Amino acid sequence: MHWQVKVKRGGKTIEVCYYNPKEYQLEMRGCILWNRPNKAKQVFEAGVHDVSGWVRCEELMLRKSFYPILPVDNLEKLYYNPLRDPHWRRESDNNEFIWDGSDYATLLTNGKQVYILEERV
C-alpha cells in the first residue's frame, strides 16, 4: 500500500504521486474527509476493495528526514475501511457518529493510519 497524492487545479488532475507509508509521514492542512457513500456501500456489501473515500486537503507537507516525523502517541485516530464500515469513524466515539464530510485544521499519517493533529475551530 502507498499513499496516493493527486494535485488538482479546478477539477483537473495535473500530477499523481505515490508515497511509501513506511518512509513518509503526510501532514495535511485544511482537510475534509470525503466519502462516496453509494460506492462505499457497494464495497461493504460485496467485500471487494475499491476507492470510495479519501482526504482532500489544501496543503500537504511530506515528512521524512528534512522535516522529522512527528509523534502520534496522544493523537486520536481516524478510521476508514469500507470493507468493514462504509463511513469515516473516530477512535473516541465507539462508532456512534459518522464523520464523512467533517473538516480538520491538520491531519497526520503514521504508517497506514490517519490521526487528528489539530481540530478546525
Question: What pLDDT, in 10s, does the model give residues 60-85?
Answer: 999 987 788 899 999 999 999 888 88
pLDDT-derived band at 18 (thresholds 50, 70, 90) equals very high
CB 55 within 8 A of CB 109: no
Structure-model confidence comparison of residues 1 and 74, the more confident one? 74
User: What distance in Å separates the CA atoms of residue 92 and residue 119, rounded to the nearest whole number?
Assistant: 14
User: What distance in Å separates the CA atoms of residue 11 and residue 29, rounded to the nearest whole number?
Assistant: 19
Torsion of CA 113, 90, 17, 20, to 10 degrees: 0
